[in-house]
Structure 1
Amino acid sequence: MTRKEHLRLLSNVAPNTTRVKDDPKLWVKSPFPDVPTVLGVEMHEMIFQQITKYGDLPAMTCGVSDKTFTFNEIYRQSRGLGAALIRAGFKRGDVVGLVLPNIPEFPIAVLGCWSAGLTVSCINPAYTEGEIKRQLASSDAKVAITIEHFLNAVRSAKSENPRLSSIIIIGDAQEGCHTFSEMAKSDTNGIIFSTGENSDTSETISLLPYSSGSDVIKLCVNIGTTGPPKGVLLSHSNITTNLTQFSCENVGPTKTYHDTGVQERLIGLLPFFHSYGMAAIVLAGLYQGAHSMSLPSFDPATFLKAIREHKPTCMHLVTPLISHMVNSDDYSSKELEHCHTIVGAAAPIGNVLINQILEKAGRYIFFAEGYGMTELSPLSHLLTPSSRNSKIGSCGTGVPSTWSKVIDLETGETLPQNTRGELLVKGPQVMKGYFRNEEATRNTIDSDGWLHTGDIAYYDEDGYFYIVDRLKELIKVKGFQVAPSELEDLLRKHEKVEDVAVIGVPNLVSGEAPRAYIVPKPGTNPSEEEINEYLKPLVASFKRLYGGIEFRKTIPKAPSGKILRRELSDEYRKQNE
């Protein structure tokens, strides 16, 4: 299927026989000076060069056990692990599956694998045993690194998969496993580590004919909130350049230690296996000399304790965490008194929640909403500090060396400002492709190098972009398009609504109709009639909840905070078969 055919399929329109008008004058370039694409340097080299400057400063502390690793310890142990992997006979490009929660050893595992020239496949630790097996098998992993909690699942995978030859355990020694702590002590003398000089950082294993790229170092799995998971191939060049794009002066909100003499303090609750947590906490945190506190999972008491004790200067959050803080009496200006910036990403947050968390702070805190995806390494847009909260609801402008444009959903024509369409992005952070999925790659990256994000967006007269919703999640009512996020943002303003999700359900009259799933605030008992009366003066008639309202205890969400509308749709379909 070609990209044009794919676009028509998504749009439900007849083929357009006229030539698609792509007007370069409507392309939007990042307002920042370009940065050179990083070539000839591998990711671990870039990190190692920085962290050796920070010496014995604390790099990462476990928020549960208080175990702390300094930058020197991360450097030494990463290289030790890399040396052990090389001595064990693993070769460049071999895949290592990481089945790990957020723990301080996570960056050691990643950097150690990269220093040995290996590819990392991060696996969601919340997966079932069957899902862990499938990802280890589909990624062709030869070795897995895990903790005791997931050991049975990994052992089961190894027994069924002859390619998976070794298990490395973090923690106490286990029968039939190599011990992570012993491997990290390995002698590095005489070891030839992987470097940009002894590898081709332009090589790719993508099935598409790229003329340049770089060794694939990270095989991410796109969770696939609107479809089945896909492996995303990212390279040294992708990730090192994206880190440079973020770290440029006046772009990212956090500062580097050697520029200020003060460590940023971060809370590492966002999953490290996810591109947002990996980039913002693991890689940028190490690169900038920040002190991060890792939390293996969300527990309200532990999260609150971490904030009170670690006193974060910058908090990386997603919608559910912001909602939790807004609706809990445990959080006040006291908990946010050391914080200069809140960074929100992974899913549209909405003005309501943003303003509520800023009001709770009781003083100026910059809210930096960003946009990206695993396929973009992961960052393409970011609200920068100079905007000073004047563009709340926007995901900002393109980061350096990034081009953006918005195209018509039906014709593919490039659209002007303040007109909604699909967002396309072009830049050095665009992935190499999907793992063993040539068709999906073709349908996502066109022949001119534009990545089709599948997100509906528009940009204003100042070049700031606003994400409206996912293309596949738009609800089509009598030919009109209804964005679930618009209704969700309005419903969150209701005094009895704590959380909400909206999906489209089949309707004989209108084709589809919006349906809301609402989590009431504790101690309240809203009625369907009450919610409908609240919405009536706020939205056009076709946006009303003719698909019904269901009150429930939780909303299904991915670890990134994205609403899993597909689960709600499947649930509704089964109930109405």
Structure 2
Amino acid sequence: MATHAFRGIQRLNRVLDASIRTLNSTLRCASTSSQTRIVSGSNGERIFLSANDISYPETLLHEFVWNDIANYPDHIALECGIIGKKYTYAQAKDATNYIGRSLRNIGLKEGDMIALVAPNFPDTVLGLLGSLSGGLIVTTMNPYYTADEMSKQLLIANPKAIITSASIASITLAATRACLPPETPFIVIDDKTGSIPEGSIPFDDLITRGKSLSPVSTKATCDNIAILPFSSGTTGLPKGVMLTHRNLVSNIMMSQSCFGESFHPTTSTYQEKIPLIIPFFHIYGLSGVALSRLAFGAKMVSIPKFIPETFLDVMQKCKATSLFCVPPIILFLSASPLVKMQHLEHIHSITSGAAPLSKTDVDKLFNKFHIDSSTIRFRQGYGLTETSSVAFCEDGKKFSSIGKVVDGSKARLVNIETQQDIVTPGETGELWIKGPHIMKGYLNNEAATKATLTEDKWLKTGDIAYFDEDNDFFITDRMKELIKVKGFQVPPAELEALLRTHPDVDEAAVVGIPHAKCGEVPKAFIVASKGKKPTEDDIKNFLKGKVSDYKELKGGVTFINEIPKNASGKILRMKLKNEYQS
């Protein structure tokens, strides 16, 4: 389920949902501290409340992003770190309006789904906001998926149009033709890598045509679905996560309240400059970085793919002031001889997310360049696709912790067996979260929604955690079976289903094993078919080309006689990990 998008974001202070604001008579105060409030519910719930309440505007996401641009219309909003294409805030807002008009003009109707599958470019961000301005819903897709992987998401989301880029247009087109009607509009961003397929609509034409079209009005409210990213549940294959305008706007304000002091306000003479290296299709890159920082006037410099020299060149040229990253990037900065102090000289804030990061990892970076913690503030965040991005924030003091619940929300820790709330520090249970940032549910999957959301809208994260004496939370394990490779989620069931199609494979189980650079990598356990003797290379090569690079079996392959399962047939992955340490 949850894309553990560990995130960091922004500033301000306000409040959220009426249930937190009023906390009516069903709750009685149990204790109070300067950072966490704890209340008891009428049924014995022990509820951790955020340090601060927040408020957020009842508005649509795209309107929220552009709300304050009158204060900085000529500042750069989006710039491509590769080819230098850029938009000011005024130009970006106008462009999104034109895009929305053109999309409706080519036949899309309010509430239709549009698939956005492109690397990080300024036009990728404009494509999303422009689609929203036209009253459409956007499903974001991994641009490095294979055609087969893309097809699976397209079949579930059933988009009425596609926006992609020239570099991956052929793969995206193959997926589109395989499962969508032939008349589906196919829109291509010119990323200067080659020509676009015949019959495609150039993305720039949406902006040009839209200038002469009438403005679009929509009936959408803040409770309408805005985006449909995909995430896996505690088990099984990816599902469409329905996130509303309210979910996303509230979460931006929630994280702004927690992280905002790490950023300086935009003025006539100052602007935060942030390399957008976190993939935009990922909720962290989309809401946790791009939209949240655009809403407060930052300059976003997009990088379509992590290439060390390119990343460092962009950091230096744009004089990056803040950095959002994942643990492998922190490890790269601390270990690579390519990284010099000149790349970090303007940085005052680093936020890490998507996977845990230890204190020693941060210390290596700070010690390498003799950085004082008062010079560069380091923060971590924890979140899920289902929480619209940020759910917990850590203030740079306990790097092994996820910190405290994000402002304007609440959390519980529930014993898995008894379903009773845990009251003792150090005792583990499943982390539950509630607030206006919690998803509406999974698209066309009522069973998965009911298994994840309680009737009173508590989100069961599938993460095992405990809290300490300071009410800081720590994740110890995942009930979910997702493998986290460089922050990206790999559902074991997806790889197992593919492996079972190998003619020499009878059964397969996949687990994640620790990896120094990637966090985790997939490892397969194979029961060979009777009379067959496949090799490790046979199995590894079978997956190549069928899945993205990060899903390949870099953890190796072990052949065993039987896959351990429980009475109901569920694979005992922890037993596999424990018995076959590699």
Q: TM-score, normalised by structure 1?
A: 0.74
Does structure 1 retain, via aligned residues, the 8 Å contact 2:241–2:442?
Answer: yes
Shift of 1:230: 1.1
1:233 aligned onto 2:242: yes
Name the counterpart of 2:64: 46
Does structure 2 retain, via aligned residues, the 8 Å contact 1:251–1:399?
Answer: no
Secondary structure of 2:255 counterpart: helix
Q: Is the alpha carbon distance of 1:252 and 1:283 closer, same or farther for their aligned partners in structure 2, counting shifts above 3 Å?
A: farther
Q: In 2, distance between residues paired with 1:261 and 1:183? A: 33
Letter in 1 for 2:263: T
Secondary structure of 1:186 counterpart: helix
Does structure 1 retain, via aligned residues, the 8 Å contact 2:115–2:163?
Answer: yes
1:257-296 alignment, distance < 5 Å: 257-258=266-267, 261-296=269-304
Q: Deviations over 1:390-425 (max 9, x none)?
A: 323222222222101111122221112332221110
Letter in 2 for 1:184: I
1:156 aligned onto 2:165: no
1:185 aligned onto 2:208: yes
Name the counterpart of 1:464: 472
1:35-434 alignment, distance < 5 Å: 35-36=55-56, 38-39=57-58, 41-160=59-178, 161-162=180-181, 165-171=184-190, 174-188=197-211, 191-194=214-217, 198-201=219-222, 214-222=223-231, 227-248=236-257, 251=260, 253-258=262-267, 261-362=269-370, 363-364=372-373, 365-384=376-395, 389-416=396-423, 417-434=425-442
Q: In 2, distance between residues paired with 1:131 and 1:173? A: 22
Shift of 1:249: 7.1
Q: Is the alpha carbon distance of 1:34 and 1:76 closer, same or farther for their aligned partners in structure 2, counting shifts above 3 Å?
A: closer
Q: Is the alpha carbon distance of 1:58 and 1:91 closer, same or farther for their aligned partners in structure 2, counting shifts above 3 Å?
A: same
Secondary structure of 1:241 counterpart: helix
Shift of 1:156: 2.4
Shift of 1:304: 1.6
Q: In 1, distance between residues paired with 2:234 and 2:273? A: 31
Shift of 1:289: 0.8
Q: Is the alpha carbon distance of 1:454 and 1:275 closer, same or farther for their aligned partners in structure 2, counting shifts above 3 Å?
A: same
CA RMSD for the aligned pairs? 3.3
1:446 aligned onto 2:474: no
Q: In 1, distance between residues paired with 2:320 and 2:86? A: 16
Q: Is the alpha carbon distance of 1:327 and 1:182 closer, same or farther for their aligned partners in structure 2, counting shifts above 3 Å?
A: same
Does structure 1 retain, via aligned residues, the 8 Å contact 2:100–2:132?
Answer: yes
Letter in 1 for 2:50: S
Shift of 1:314: 1.3
Q: In 1, distance between residues paired with 2:512 and 2:124? A: 40
Letter in 2 for 1:373: L
1:33 aligned onto 2:53: yes
Q: Deviations over 1:189-219 (max 9, x none)?
A: 6734345xx3343xxxxxxxxxxxx111101
Does structure 1 retain, via aligned residues, the 8 Å contact 2:102–2:213?
Answer: no
Tell me the number of residue pairs that the alignment of Structure 1 and Structure 2 aligns: 464
Name the counterpart of 2:557: 571
Letter in 2 for 1:137: L
Q: Is the alpha carbon distance of 1:26 and 1:359 closer, same or farther for their aligned partners in structure 2, counting shifts above 3 Å?
A: farther
Percent identity between matched residues is: 31
Shift of 1:174: 4.4
Shift of 1:288: 1.2
Q: Is the alpha carbon distance of 1:31 and 1:440 closer, same or farther for their aligned partners in structure 2, counting shifts above 3 Å?
A: same
Secondary structure of 1:109 counterpart: helix
Query: Is there any run of 5+ residues in structure 1 with no aligned partner, and where?
Result: 1-20, 202-213, 475-483, 489-502, 504-511, 522-555, 557-561
Does structure 1 retain, via aligned residues, the 8 Å contact 2:116–2:162?
Answer: yes
Shift of 1:515: 9.6
Letter in 2 for 1:191: S
Letter in 2 for 1:67: K
Name the counterpart of 2:36: none
Does structure 2 retain, via aligned residues, the 8 Å contact 1:142–1:163?
Answer: no
Secondary structure of 1:90 counterpart: coil
Q: In 1, distance between residues paired with 2:42 and 2:465? A: 17
Q: In 2, distance between residues paired with 1:223 and 1:441? A: 12
Q: In 2, distance between residues paired with 1:411 and 1:194? A: 51
Q: In 2, distance between residues paired with 1:46 and 1:94? A: 21
Letter in 2 for 1:85: L
Q: Deviations over 1:423-444 (max 9, x none)?
A: 1100000000011111111111
Q: In 2, distance between residues paired with 1:46 and 1:382? A: 23
Q: TM-score, normalised by structure 2?
A: 0.73
Secondary structure of 1:288 counterpart: coil
Q: In 1, distance between residues paired with 2:413 and 2:550? A: 24
Q: In 2, distance between residues paired with 1:356 and 1:575? A: 43
Q: In 2, distance between residues paired with 1:248 and 1:519? A: 33
Does structure 2 retain, via aligned residues, the 8 Å contact 1:423–1:454?
Answer: yes
Q: In 2, distance between residues paired with 1:169 and 1:438? A: 34
Q: Is the alpha carbon distance of 1:261 and 1:377 closer, same or farther for their aligned partners in structure 2, counting shifts above 3 Å?
A: farther
Does structure 2 retain, via aligned residues, the 8 Å contact 1:23–1:414?
Answer: no
Question: Which sits farther off after the overlay, 566-575 or 95-104?
Answer: 566-575
Query: Is there any run of 5+ residues in structure 2 with no aligned partner, and where?
Result: 1-40, 486-491, 493-508, 519-542, 544-548, 564-582
Does structure 2 retain, via aligned residues, the 8 Å contact 1:145–1:167?
Answer: yes
Q: Is the alpha carbon distance of 1:299 and 1:576 closer, same or farther for their aligned partners in structure 2, counting shifts above 3 Å?
A: farther
Q: In 2, distance between residues paired with 1:54 and 1:300? A: 32
Does structure 2 retain, via aligned residues, the 8 Å contact 1:241–1:428?
Answer: yes
Q: In 1, distance between residues paired with 2:314 and 2:142? A: 23
Secondary structure of 1:304 counterpart: helix
Question: Which sits farther off after the overlay, 274-283 or 131-140?
Answer: 131-140
Letter in 2 for 1:183: L
Secondary structure of 1:141 counterpart: coil
Does structure 2 retain, via aligned residues, the 8 Å contact 1:55–1:71?
Answer: yes
Question: Which sits farther off after the overlay, 179-188 or 218-227?
Answer: 218-227
Relative contact order: is structure 1 or structure 2 higher (C-alpha 8 Å, sep ≥ 6)?
2
Q: Is the alpha carbon distance of 1:163 and 1:398 closer, same or farther for their aligned partners in structure 2, counting shifts above 3 Å?
A: farther
Q: In 1, distance between residues paired with 2:426 and 2:84? A: 49
Q: In 1, distance between residues paired with 2:259 and 2:426? A: 26
Q: Is the alpha carbon distance of 1:563 and 1:320 closer, same or farther for their aligned partners in structure 2, counting shifts above 3 Å?
A: farther
